[in-house]
Amino acid sequence: MRYFRKRTRHFWTALVCFAAVAGASAAETRHAKDAETGIESWETQELGVNLSLTQMLPDQARAFYLARGFDREAAEAYASACVFQTVMRNESSAPITFHLGDWRMLRGKRAFKLKTEPEWQHEWERHQLAGPARIAFRWAQFPLEQDFEPGDWNQGMTTYPLPRGACFDLKFKWRMGGKMREGILKGVCCAQDR
Partner 1 sequence: MRRIVKLLVGISIVLFALMAGATEPKQGLTVVADRPEAREFSLKDMDGKGWRLSELRGKVVLINFWASWCPPCRRELPSLERLWRLLGSENFVVLAINAGEDADMVFAFTGMLEPAPTFPILLDRDSSVLGNWPVKGLPTTFVVDKKGRIVYRAVGGREFDAPELVGQLRSLLRKEH
Residues lying near partner 1 in the complex (CB under 8 A): 7-8, 10-11, 14-15, 17-18, 21-22, 24-25, 45, 47-48, 64, 68, 89, 91-94, 131-132, 135-136, 138-140, 142-156
Is residue 149 within 8 Å of 95, Cβ to Cβ? yes
Nearer to partner 1, 106 or 140 (CB): 140
190 φ, ψ (degrees, to nearest 5)? -65, 145
CB of 57 to partner 1, least distance (A): 16
115 φ, ψ (degrees, to nearest 5)? -90, 120
Q: State the helix-helix crossing angle for 58-66 and 72-79, rounded to 10 degrees.
A: 150
Closest CA to 83 of 158, 151, 143: 158
H helix or E strand, kind and range, residue 185: strand 179-189
Amino acid at 68: R
CB of 81 to partner 1, least distance (A): 18
Nearer to partner 1, 80 or 154 (CB): 154
CB of 143 to partner 1, least distance (A): 4
Nearer to partner 1, 17 or 111 (CB): 17
Nearer to partner 1, 8 or 192 (CB): 8
CB of 169 to partner 1, least distance (A): 22
CA distances from 24 to 8, 21, 47, 119, 187 (A): 24, 5, 12, 39, 20
Nearer to partner 1, 21 or 32 (CB): 21
CB of 11 to partner 1, least distance (A): 5
Is residue 96 within 8 Å of 83, Cβ to Cβ? no
